[in-house]
Amino acid sequence: MSNAIGSTNATLRRRFKAVLGRTVHHEIQRVRLDLAKRLLVSTDRTFRQIARQSGFCSVQHMSARIRQATGHTPREYRQRCGEIEDRASSLVGWAFLPVVLCRAGTPNLHH
């Protein structure tokens, strides 16, 4: 990519970090993790399918990253946030809301 924009790899990495505040590697990890979390709560795909589609090299690697980021196993995350998605979509119908709510913690949507 650096050749396409006429820059060195080092310059591209430095500019990327200056703009986003994180490295290219961290951004790729963030995007993979967010995709895996969305797929966990919005599909019934297997963990293997989700890991593959999200770009993780294995289910174990995906599981470790999800647990590190959320404190929950993929199964726990799916159950916890899947329930939030069901309740939130019936309230507002916005697809992005469950991910936002799960990031903020478990809300009380029973009221």
- Cα 66 to chain centroid distance, Å, stands at 8
For residues 56 and 45, is the Cβ–Cβ distance under 8 A?
no
Burial class (CB in 10 A: 0-12, 13-18, 19+), 93: exposed
For residues 84 and 96, is the Cβ–Cβ distance under 8 A?
no
Reported as a single tens digit per residue, the pLDDT across 56-105 is 999 999 999 999 999 999 999 999 987 766 555 555 544 554 444 455 44
- Name the H helices within 21-110: 24-42, 47-54, 59-70, 74-91, 97-104
The pTM is what?
Answer: 0.69
